[in-house]
Amino acid sequence: MMLAKAPIAVFPSIKPEGYAAHALHDGARDWPETNCYIDVWIEVLHALGADPTAAMGFAVAQDFEGDHFTFAKIPLEDLFDLYGLEVTELALYDTLETHVLEQTARGRMVIVEVDSFYLPDTRGVSYQLEHTKTTIAINRVNADARELDYFHGAGFFTLRDDDYDAVLPKGAATALFPYAEFVKFDRRRSSPDASKALTVLRRHVARRPTDNPVLALRDRLRDQVIAASEKPSDFLHKYAFNTARQLGMNFELLGSHLAWLAAHDASLALAPAIEGCQTLSSGAKSFQFQLARAVARKRFDTIEANLDPLAASYERIVGCLAIL
């Protein structure tokens, strides 16, 4: 296997210093960060010179899965249809560093699950504090200097030295490899076509849940929140992340996507759906605090009613999109 000389990069002109994140990561949004996988793709597409907003139509298909809302991920077929990007699993059998060097030297970006304990951009949250799984996309590697540049969260960062050794260990292959993908840019397109994005949106509208997922959460909410209140305090944060946060950020992304489509095609009557997405997004943010108050006070008798406005917003959104 070829080992490239350091340093190597997929996008050599991009530097962490002075990097400007995409508008979907603007601090004024309800959810400036979404989840680790979507955040990575927002910035990778941005670095490519493409607008990631065109890819967010998948969000309309989110469902409540009984214990969490669907974890948002841009479908790989959408990435190919809209941007010409081919994404596939990276088959790991040697050290992760060896594979990353090989693929980066070939102009392919590796997206890999790592431990945020070793990511300095999470300082004060999990860096050197807590072992949690997250996803990064590696743009530049300097094996000699033990340094790499990576996309994570709402930005683009550098890690080095001991953190590099932990993320890309040089030793023998581990017994349990992380999940990794790599992106091939050979057929890339930097300007997604609005008509193609509308086609992709219609595809996802057709596969939306048959029942209102907010009402599905409502049916389970009280029992789940009571159970959460009986667990260690950090459990509620995890529950809220996978329910209120995933719901809210998902529909804020959908609202941005619909606004992008409307800007490209004035004939689309999307204003009611855009407004519904904004209401649902901000309502889910408020609902996080309502969950925390209910648990702190051990008062659960009215917790379900907080979801009624969100459920109504959902109905407005899908009612508008169903007739596209």
Of 123, 106, 185, residue with least CA distance to 157: 123
The pLDDT of residue 176: 79
Instruction: Quote the mean pLDDT of the chain.
Output: 95
Encode pLDDT of 240-263 as tens digits: 999 999 999 999 999 999 999 999
Single pTM value for the model: 0.94
- How far apart are alpha carbons 256 and 102 in whole angstroms? 37
pLDDT band, very low/low/confident/very high, at 129 (cuts 50, 70, 90)? very high
Is the CB of residue 180 less than 8 Å from the CB of residue 113? yes
pLDDT for the residue numbered 189: 86
Q: What's the N-to-C CA distance of the chain in angstroms? A: 50
Q: How far is CA 108 from CA 38, 138, 170, 183, 313, in A?
A: 19, 9, 20, 5, 41
Give the pLDDT confidence score for residue 3 in this predicted structure: 54
Query: For position 169, what pLDDT does the model report?
Result: 87
Q: Check if the beta carbon of residue 248 is closer than 8 Å to that of residue 284.
A: yes
The alpha helices in 133-178, defined as continuous H runs, are 162-167
Phi, psi (deg, nearest 5) at residue 87: -120, 130
Q: In whole angstroms, what is the distance from residue 159 CA to residue 162 CA?
A: 9
pLDDT in tens, 130-187: 999 999 999 999 999 999 999 999 999 999 999 999 999 876 555 678 999 999 999 9
Helix-then-strand count for the chain, H and E: 10, 7
Residue 128 CA, distance from chain mean position: 23
| Predicted pLDDT of residue 73 | 95
- A 10 A CB-CB count for 95 gives 17
